[in-house]
Amino acid sequence: MNAMIPLFVIVPLAAAFFMAILGRFIKNFSKILLNLELLFLSYLALHFILNTQGILAYRVGGFENAGDIPIAIYLVLDGLSRLILLVISLIGLLAAFYSTSYTRQFTQERKYYILFSLMIAGMNGLVISGDIFNIFVFLEIAAIASYALVAFGIEKQQLEASFKYQVLGGMASLIILLGIGFLYWQTGTLNIADFSRLPVSGPFVKLLAIFFLVGFGLKAAIFPFHSWLPDAHSSAPSPISAMLSGVLIKAIGIYAIFRIFFSMFALSYEIAMVITVLGTLSMIVGGLMAIGQWDIKRMLAFSSISQMGYVIVGIGIGMILLATGGSKVIAGFSIFGGLFHLVNHSVFKGLLFLNAGAVEYATGTRDMRQLGGLAEKMPLTASTSLTASLAISGVPPFNGFFSKLIIIVAAVSAHFYWLAFIAVVVSIITISYFMKMQKYVFFNTPQTDYKNFRAIPLPMNLSMIILALLCLLLSLLVLPQIRDIFITPAVDALINSLQYTAVVIG
């Protein structure tokens, strides 16, 4: 079973290679291969979740450790990485299927699918990497592919957004690489598990923590490192916006932060508090900035900053409790809420970006002030958009209600009453700007006669329907029987981080 772990990287890299060669000669080859690739990766991730337990480690090349020194490159699969891999593959599959119709407007479809596959390879590789340098390598693969995809339409706005994204992304990569250099200079190791057992502390650890928090915080677009995200996510093709917001910022940003500060560093109250404060500020600032937006995708981008704040606050409360010797039960409950919301956000934000893409595809605009009355012309898009809007706003019985409720209850249980209050207020703000979107886009008096209106193709509609159904079905994750299969192993992987070191190093 361990030997199957590299397939998460090998399959998308091989698919990108064959798209580059055979895609030149076989019509629609790249479209079909990308969808088959992601269907297989979704199956593989689900197979690992349902049929394996604990932590699996694979040594690339079969190298043995030199005594207790890990000289091999490790690929590690635990409960957290299994969950993130499933999210990447499933959202990627639906975005790729949506793209089969959406990308007909592009002249270089084949290159779009090659870059999409490389982005998947980079995210998957980062999630299963067991050492900090290979996390950086795979991060760059995913990031460079995403830079090109943001600029894929080659319009002025897209090129400008991609340039800003590249500049700030390059700064983040440099900061992360400096942190990796300092780490290796002082300890002689890059292996996450190996570093976690070294007796290092004091200013050096704090310096590393700052480097990694700032670097990966830029990749995750948490406040105050968020300035690149609204332009990049709003300018990219809509399936790519769904990938960027739904999975990329989580895989190369949020996941990396959690992996490093749980599995690599000893939990500290100071770092946990900083992470929680940044999450709280992200929640507030993103929500307030979203209110004034009239571009649908720009509003959704600011909303992503706000919703990632919920995820970080949920995990942050758990970190604080674990670092201070608080209740492990409440800590686990709070971390569960954060991870649950991470999964939920991938679904309803992915759906909302696909809805925005459908509106733009049909009407040629994303400006809410130029729209209206689309509920009659696009009933499926309108109904799925309303579903996603209610889910992200935390309205029952949709999935967002349960994850937000768990985070709020955990905050109250941990006596962080101010965090619970802020979470409730931001949720009210969220429903206000999504109801604004529903009003101006779907239910207002039409501001134009839509002379060039285009019908939405079946693949785009089908992707939206599946995601809308998931907004309801994921509510079942609150049930213990289902929660223990998908999310509880991820919670355990963060709380019992010593098991990570024990399996990798022995």
Give the Cα separation of 494 and 501 in Å (integer). Answer: 12
Give the Cα separation of 460 and 385 in Å (integer). Answer: 13
Q: What mean pLDDT value characterizes the chain?
A: 88
DSSP track, 377-446? H-HHHHHHHHHHHHHHTT-TTSHHHHHHHHHHHHHHHTT-HHHHHHHHHHHHHHHHHHHHHHIIIIISPP
Instruction: Read off the pLDDT of residues 219-264 as tens digits, 9 standing for 90 and up.
Output: 888 888 877 888 887 788 888 888 888 888 888 889 999 999 888 8
pLDDT at residue 68, rounded to an integer: 63
- Where in the sequence is the domain holding 89, given as residue range(s)? 2-505
User: How confident is residue 283, by pLDDT bands cut at 50, 70 and 90?
Assistant: very high
User: How confident is residue 53, by pLDDT bands cut at 50, 70 and 90?
Assistant: confident
| Domain count along the chain | 1
- Measured in Å, how far apart are the chain's first and last C-alpha atoms? 19
Segment 286-289 long-range contacts (CB within 8 Å, at least 24 positions apart): 286/223, 286/226, 287/426, 287/429, 287/430, 287/433, 288/429, 289/230
pTM for the full model? Answer: 0.93
Give the other-Cβ count within 10 Å of 291's Cβ. 14
Give the Cα separation of 365 and 351 in Å (integer). Answer: 18
Give the other-Cβ count within 10 Å of 425's Cβ. 13
pLDDT at residue 244, rounded to an integer: 86
